[in-house]
Amino acid sequence: MIADKAVQSMGPLFTNPDPDEARKYFHSKSRTKTDKLMNLKDAVERFVCDGDYLAIGGFGTNRTPIAACQEIVRQGKKNMGFAGHTSTHDFQILAAGEVFNRVDIAYIIGLEARGMSPCAKSYMESGRVKICEWSNFSLAARLKAAAMGIPFLPTRNMMGTDTFRYSAGKTMICPFTDKTLALQPALYPDVSVIHVHEADITGNCRIRGIVISDDDLARASKKLIITTERLIHNDEIRNDPARTVIPYYLVDAVCEVPYGAYPTGMPYEYYSDEKHLKQWLTVQKNPTAFKSFLKSNIYDCPDHAAYIELSGGIDRIQELRAKELLLHKEEIHAEL
Amino acid sequence: MQNYNIMELMICVAARELGNGRTAGIGTGAPCAAALLAQKTIAPNLVIMFESGGVDPILPELPVSVGDSRTFHRAIMAGTMFEIMQTCSRGMVDYAILGGAQIDMYGNINSTMLGKDYFKPAVRLPGSGGANDFASLCWRTIIMSVQERKRLVSKLDFITAPGWLEGGESRAQSGLPLDTGPYRVITNMAVMDFEPESKWMRVISINPGYTFDDIQTNCEFELLKAPRIFTTKPPTALELRVLRDEIDPNRIIIGR
């Protein structure tokens, strides 16, 4: 059968898929309903360690925890692993800070139709980053396997391609049907950051709109930092418990960061700041200008609020809110 | 004198391949414009799914990102990536529309890297994203590409997303779901399908203003000819009006 004779994969496995090792960690994880509120600087200092494998919630330029990415760069974290699950603006920020040295790739470097990120591209072409190839579904399945506490999930994608050959997946013959299956090894990130709409102080979280893979990511991660647009009372969580996407016992830190996804978009709150993203892509073409851009936009900003202020403050946010709510589209405005 | 550009033509031709009442896995850009055009012309009940979780949105305008809030605007569901992909895997998604930096005669697609050595790429590209998944799991893959020798190549630098792999029965033997695979290649010059036995790309329709020689000259591998080759119907006035006035009034895609 093809599983025996086919080229097996040659990519490196950056994380341990052993579910009993993971269980040992989760056994020791606190289940107490404590107040986990802290500022983002402290949360990153405490929970994001040099060398950790990092994963980021959201997708593309949507609900990505940009405040946390900038804080990670500001604190000069290094030698991290990273899961590039359609990672766009978050990826170029972390690449600019040379935060990671190994990446599981599904989609990196590009900002979709906006073009490629020169700094991310040159960092990935430098030979200084170890890579392993996957697809979006494969990474989603790897997180699902980890969330389930099993060592892998079988899927039917990737087979026969170089994406498989340069992954760390395997194939097997199904014992029930004799079909060849691709096996996606469980991915347990050391630490993840997810930006949500609402959370209480213990870490119960609500997300509006698409969840993408963040339900599984939250469950797969050993340490989890939540940044939230708003804090809500625990009573409000209990009034509508079906809306809880992430329960408190997965969460290590809750950080109140309004506009924490800016300049990426937050559903029902604010649209992505296309002008600012374009500025990012343009300024990178000139290394000197990019260095001073990073200094003023990341290193010299004490926190995300200062960055928002620098980027046009609440007036700019209001414009992006109007765009998100389609107030520029008259006919839709009339419907509302 | 033709009154449309190549992007408009490719979008119109792709839209006509999408059946009413079917489901399509869609990204941003030209594929999204094609799906919207189908919805507003021949396939009002075409259901669009975005890999990030949006199902059957009523798109108020073209999304800039495959997960932006437009992708689930007034949708029937805002779900998860796993939900979309398991739906593809279960056999309920009919079409995927994909593009790439390189395409070979079997409809395999490269969007990962250019160069001879994977570890020292001449150009690193974004990678699969959801392309491998859609090309593996949806019933029919429709590929959109500009017809150029550097894009339609004899050997890919990297197979990111599966076409018919090495042709013949190789895809069926690989473990990928049975009876899936590339269905059409839509370029600015022609429409191609794949010869049923060899799974080698062949011309089935030539776009107005081009000859078979033009198409062959702009393709590195030898193209087969279908027993009957048609002339592609140019965009109709209705298609162009809907595309220009309703779908892409700012010419974000059709102005490229």
Quick: pLDDT tens for B115-143. Answer: 999 999 999 999 999 999 999 999 999 99
**How far is residue A126 CA from its own chain's centroid?**
23
pLDDT at B28: 86
Give the domain range for residue B129: 6-247
**Residue whose entry in the numeric block shows the structure tokens 């979309």:** B84
Which tens digit of pLDDT belongs to each residue from B17-66? 999 999 999 988 999 999 999 999 999 999 999 999 999 999 999 999 99
Output the six-digit token pair for B228: 């009957």
Distance from CA of B226 to the nearest CA of A (A): 27
Which tens digit of pLDDT belongs to each residue from A82-106? 999 999 999 999 999 999 999 999 9
Chain A hits for B51, Cβ within 8 Å: 136
Give the domain range for residue A75: 15-324
Helix (H) or strand (E) holding A51: none
For A162-173, what is the mean pLDDT? 98
Which tens digit of pLDDT belongs to each residue from A260-313? 999 999 999 999 999 999 999 999 999 999 999 999 999 999 999 999 999 999
Are A37 and A256 in contact by the 8 Å Cβ rule? The answer is yes
Q: Is B166 a catalytic residue?
A: no
Output the six-digit token pair for A299: 């290193």
Please state the domain count of chain A: 1
Residue A333 has pLDDT above 70, yes or no: no
pLDDT at A275: 97
Residue A331 has pLDDT above 60, yes or no: no
Other Cβ atoms less than 10 A from the Cβ of B3: the count is 9
For B99-112, what is the mean pLDDT? 97
Q: CA A286 to CA A291: how far, in whole Å?
A: 9
Q: In what order do the strands lie in the sheet with B140-144?
A: B77-78, B54-55, B47-50, B23-26, B95-98, B140-144, B181-186, B190-194, B201-206, B224-231
Distance from CA of B62 to the nearest CA of A (A): 11
Output the average pLDDT for chain B: 97
**Residue whose entry in the numeric block shows the structure tokens 């698409």:** A210
Chain B hits for A124, Cβ within 8 Å: 124
Residue in B closest to A164 by C-alpha: B160
Half-sphere exposure of A313 (CA within 13 A, CB side): 2
Kindly state whether residue A70 falls inside one of the protein's structural domains. Answer: yes
Chain B hits for A166, Cβ within 8 Å: 118
**Residue whose entry in the numeric block shows the structure tokens 């033709």:** B2
Residue in A closest to B177 by C-alpha: A156
Kindly state whether residue A329 falls inside one of the protein's structural domains. Answer: no
Q: Does A84 touch chain B (CB under 8 A)?
A: yes
Beta strands in B91-167 (DSSP E): 95-98, 102-103, 109-110, 113-114, 123-124, 140-144
CB within 8 Å of chain B, chain A residues 280-309: none
Q: Which residues contact A43 (CB under 8 A, 6 or more apart)?
A: A225, A252, A253, A255
Residue B129 to residue A213, Cβ atoms within 8 A = no
Chain B hits for A2, Cβ within 8 Å: 173-175
Other Cβ atoms less than 10 A from the Cβ of B178: the count is 10
Which tens digit of pLDDT belongs to each residue from A101-151? 999 999 999 999 899 999 999 999 999 999 999 999 999 999 999 999 999
Residue A335 has pLDDT above 50, yes or no: no
Domain CATH number, residue B29: 3.40.1080.10
Q: CA A82 to CA A99: how far, in whole Å?
A: 9
Q: Which residues contact A308 (CB under 8 A, 6 or more apart)?
A: A259, A262, A314, A316, A317
Kindly state whether residue A330 falls inside one of the protein's structural domains. Answer: no
State the DSSP string of B69-102: GGGGTT-SEE-BHHHHHHHHHTT---EEEE--SE
Residue A140 to residue B85, Cβ atoms within 8 A = yes
Kindly state whether residue A67 falls inside one of the protein's structural domains. Answer: yes
For B87-107, what is the mean pLDDT? 97
Are B194 and B182 in contact by the 8 Å Cβ rule? The answer is yes
Kindly state whether residue B172 falls inside one of the protein's structural domains. Answer: yes
Kindly state whether residue B60 falls inside one of the protein's structural domains. Answer: yes
Helix (H, G, I), strand (E, B) or coil at A217: helix
Distance from CA of A312 to the nearest CA of B (A): 22
Tell me how many degrees the CA angle A307-A311-A315 measures, rounded to the nearest 5: 115
Considering only CA atoms, which of A83, A96, A90 is closest in space to residue A64?
A90
Distance from CA of A88 to the nearest CA of B (A): 9
For A34-44, what is the mean pLDDT? 98
Which tens digit of pLDDT belongs to each residue from B207-217? 999 999 999 99
Residue B175 to residue A179, Cβ atoms within 8 A = yes
pLDDT at B63: 93
Kindly state whether residue B20 falls inside one of the protein's structural domains. Answer: yes
Residue B54 to residue A210, Cβ atoms within 8 A = yes
Residue in A closest to B176 by C-alpha: A156
Half-sphere exposure of A52 (CA within 13 A, CB side): 22
Q: Report how many Cβ contacts below 8 Å link chain A to chain B.
A: 202
Residue A114 to residue B61, Cβ atoms within 8 A = no
Distance from CA of B15 to the nearest CA of A (A): 20
Q: Does A213 touch chain B (CB under 8 A)?
A: yes
Chain A hits for B175, Cβ within 8 Å: 2-3, 156, 159-160, 171, 179-182
Which tens digit of pLDDT belongs to each residue from A227-254? 999 999 999 999 999 999 999 999 999 9
Please state the domain count of chain B: 1
Kindly state whether residue A6 falls inside one of the protein's structural domains. Answer: no
* Out of B64, B80, B160, closest to residue A212 by CB: B80
Residue A2 to residue B175, Cβ atoms within 8 A = yes
Kindly state whether residue B129 falls inside one of the protein's structural domains. Answer: yes
Residue A336 has pLDDT above 90, yes or no: no
Domain CATH number, residue A151: 3.40.1080.10
Considering only CA atoms, which of B94, B71, B98, B97 is closest in space to residue B21?
B94
Q: ω into residue A247 within 30 of 0, thus cis?
A: no
Tell me how many degrees the CA angle B158-B160-B165 measures, rounded to the nearest 5: 85
Are B199 and B167 in contact by the 8 Å Cβ rule? The answer is yes
pLDDT at B1: 63
Distance set, CA B125 to CA A279, B148, B157 (Å): 21, 18, 12
Q: CA A77 to CA A96: how far, in whole Å?
A: 12
Distance from CA of A205 to the nearest CA of B (A): 16
Kindly state whether residue B11 falls inside one of the protein's structural domains. Answer: yes
Distance set, CA B238 to CA A328, B235, B243 (Å): 26, 8, 8
Residue A157 to residue B51, Cβ atoms within 8 A = no
pLDDT at A328: 76
Q: CA A183 to CA A168: how far, in whole Å?
A: 9
Which tens digit of pLDDT belongs to each residue from B166-202? 999 999 999 999 999 999 999 999 999 999 999 999 9
pLDDT at A8: 85
Q: CA B39 to CA B32: how far, in whole Å?
A: 11
Tell me how many degrees the CA angle A184-A189-A195 measures, rounded to the nearest 5: 115
Chain B hits for A115, Cβ within 8 Å: none
Kindly state whether residue A7 falls inside one of the protein's structural domains. Answer: no
Are A49 and A191 in contact by the 8 Å Cβ rule? The answer is yes
Q: Does A64 touch chain B (CB under 8 A)?
A: no
Residue of B51, B195, B197, B222 marked catalytic: B51
Are A231 and A255 in contact by the 8 Å Cβ rule? The answer is no
Residue A137 to residue B133, Cβ atoms within 8 A = yes
Residue B127 to residue A114, Cβ atoms within 8 A = no
pLDDT at B2: 82
Chain B hits for A324, Cβ within 8 Å: 69
Q: CA A134 to CA A163: how far, in whole Å?
A: 6
Helix (H, G, I), strand (E, B) or coil at A299: helix
Residue type, A264: T
For strand B47-50 and strand B23-26, is the pairing parallel, antiparallel, or unpaired? parallel
Cβ-count burial A5-41 (b if 16+ within 10 Å, e if not): ebeebebeebbebebeebeeeeeeeeeeeeebbbebe
